[in-house]
Structure 1
């Protein structure tokens, strides 16, 4: 496996070096593959958009065809490997149906994979959720009430309520608050994102995230992220510290370098994992097909902080009418 890691890493560096100096097209796919992918992507993307707008028109106003709609369908395939634990594969289908005109400030939202079901901070930080850690029954149907406040000037709040679509039905209530500050006249910005939620079958959970960052150059951005999370189901306080540099190599490739520390417990604080991560993300085809290569080096408490390599290979395809280039 070390040879595979070395090969993948050399492949990343070769691709980065080559793409930094070459003028790129919109796709890495051969012509025959592009001819098959594009009609399928356009057909499914239009279906997702039209379906969400029809539902929005039923509940909302006549503006449903002109209002920006953030509905999407995402299909993913990934392979995870960690030294000592072996290899696991996973296929995922995630979606969000956005109904923006259902009311001026009241929005009906249907989505899979709510934030509360995305595992521990360690799993969220690495982006390496394994098969048995994903809740396949986590789709939700709910109403969100949004304040029309600019988070750069005031706290912007959102209150939501609904049900998780599984048997027995699992009602929930969620409150989210966000704020963004410009620190003085300099380039630093501080963002706060806070959430408190209650699910009938899992109890209460709370999470606060503070993100301070600045632009280093036209292509580089520095961030420091502090997160604290508590979930009644596990009755454990978790916290994480992340330092990362995001590097936009060109319009189709990006790199993220991260150093991450994970801890737990309030009464007996201890660090459970330190790790280094590099994430290379490539827009393989026109802002709809992306590939990730994520090598990591972990130092975990439960194995006496002995170094352990990990690797994630991921392929994702997005279905939306309007294409957006989401590098991270």
Structure 2
């Protein structure tokens, strides 16, 4: 019997647990939930109150306390293994602070993995960062002005600026635009995302993504994606083409199957990597904790297109005001029920 690849062995061990139905909305044991809950609620309350207080300072104090706020904090860790490279871990944090009542519609962004720091398309793979990009030198903080336009009718354009944390501070500017088209009477949709960036230390960069797809049935969606990227420090045009099928397995789990080709140069195109990947995503606990298992099979040019396995295990936890809103709604419902007036009765 041939040697079983490490990714296959890990999947065999992890998938039964990841897909288990320990509870309707959670896969975690009770003792874990009891430890996570107070910490998660405390941080979520801080995210919610901070965003509303700052929004009230710049915008409308009355409206900021009741309007829906989409601020969130996401903390994640990737455990990566690559054949011939070994194991590595990549922590990440992303903080989006929304200010919806501010006249100019501002969003405060703090992120440790901005698009501009993710390297070339070949290095990105399924989203892994290079080792030298996981330090605090890649953390940026800035403000982004949000557009109120409907991207199905107009281009949704955003302008942002800020600094990258390093000494000396590294200022940056960004211009992003998005558009969504419904193609004819059928189910096909075309989406475009584009960003032009300038960092004082790295110079200019530009990236564009074109995504066309349609639902195949109630649970599967087909997508064709084209990515184009140029960075001044690399000074070459890169491209990637991929086809994906995204499948909803259950209310809390989904699968993605993809085949990707990555290359560079416009005058003399050259393919640098072919790879296949499968991504299993599981909502482990109440839309708060998520896990991803991503096995990949690469055929890179620098290995003479010989197959190379890779595996990523990713954990992400979200902190947002949605948790606080649900608690408020639950308390209100309990209070109404105690008075003999439920929301259903009032309707």
What's the TM-score once normalised by structure 1's chain length? 0.90
Cα 1:157–1:270, aligned 2, differ >3 Å: closer, same or farther? same
Per the alignment, in what secondary structure is the counterpart of residue 322 of structure 1? helix
Number of residue pairs aligned between Structure 1 and Structure 2: 320
Structure 1 SS opposite 2:172: strand
Task: Spell out, residue by residue over 1:120-148, the C-alpha distance to the aligned partner (whole angstroms, 9 max, x if none).
Answer: 22344412224323352333343333333
Equivalent residues of 1:176, 1:196 under 8 A apart? yes
In structure 2, do the counterparts of structure 1 residues 58 and 2 end up closer, same or farther at CA, with 3 Å as the change threshold?
farther
Q: Distance in 1 between matches of 2:26 and 2:212?
A: 34
Alpha-carbon distance in structure 1 between the residues aligned to 2:310 and 2:76: 19
1:5-50 alpha-carbon deviations (Å, 9 max, x no partner): 222233466468x66xx79511111111111111211111111111
Query: Are residues 85 and 282 of structure 1, via their aligned partners in 2, closer, same or farther at CA, if it must alter by over 3 Å?
Result: same
Q: Distance in 2 between matches of 1:51 and 1:151?
A: 29
Query: Distance between the aligned counterparts of 2:137 and 2:99, measured in 1?
Result: 22
Residue 36 of structure 1 aligns to a residue in which SS?
helix
Per-residue CA distance 1:163-201 (angstroms, 9 max, x = gap): 333322222221111111111111100011111111121
Deviations 1:90-118 (A, max 9, x none): 33333222223332x34142321322222
Question: SS of the counterpart of 1:126?
Answer: coil
Counterparts of 1:11-50 in structure 2, within 5 Å, are 11=13, 14=16, 25-50=24-49
Alpha-carbon distance in structure 1 between the residues aligned to 2:145 and 2:133 = 30
Structure 1 unaligned segments of length 5 or more: list them.
Answer: 324-328
1: CA distance between counterparts of 2:134 and 2:268? Answer: 28
**Rg larger in structure:** 2
Q: Give the counterpart of 1:5 among 4, 7, 11.
A: 7
RMSD: 2.3
Q: How far 1:149 moved relative to its partner?
A: 1.7
User: Is the aligned partner of 1:298 residue 2:306?
Assistant: no
Q: Which runs of 5+ in 2 are unaligned?
A: 324-347
Aligned equivalents of 1:42, 1:76: Cα separation in 2:
17
Q: Distance in 2 between matches of 1:266 and 1:99?
A: 41
| Aligned pairs for 1:1-328 within 5 A | 2=4, 4-11=6-13, 14=16, 25-62=24-61, 63-103=63-103, 105-112=104-111, 113-322=113-322
**TM-score, structure 2 as length reference:** 0.85
Contact 1:53 1:64 in 2 (8 A): yes
Cα distance 1:171–1:130, how it changes in 2: closer, same or farther (>3 A)? closer
Residue 139 and residue 213 in structure 1: after superposition, are their counterparts in 2 closer, same or farther (change >3 A)?
Answer: same
Assess if the C-alpha contact under 8 Å between 2:136 and 2:165 holds in 1.
no
CA gap 1:226/1:135 in 2 versus in 1, 3 angstroms = farther
Q: Are the counterparts in 2 of residues 80 and 130 from structure 1 also a CA contact under 8 Å?
A: no
Mapped to 2, the partners of 1:10 and 1:168 lie a distance apart of: 48
Name the SS for the 1:54 alignment partner. helix
Note the C-alpha offset of 1:206.
0.7
Q: 1:315 to 1:244 in 2, by over 3 A?
A: same
Provide the C-alpha distance between the structure 2 equivalents of 1:260 and 1:223, rounded to a whole number of angstroms.
12
- For 1:315, what is the secondary structure of its paired residue? strand
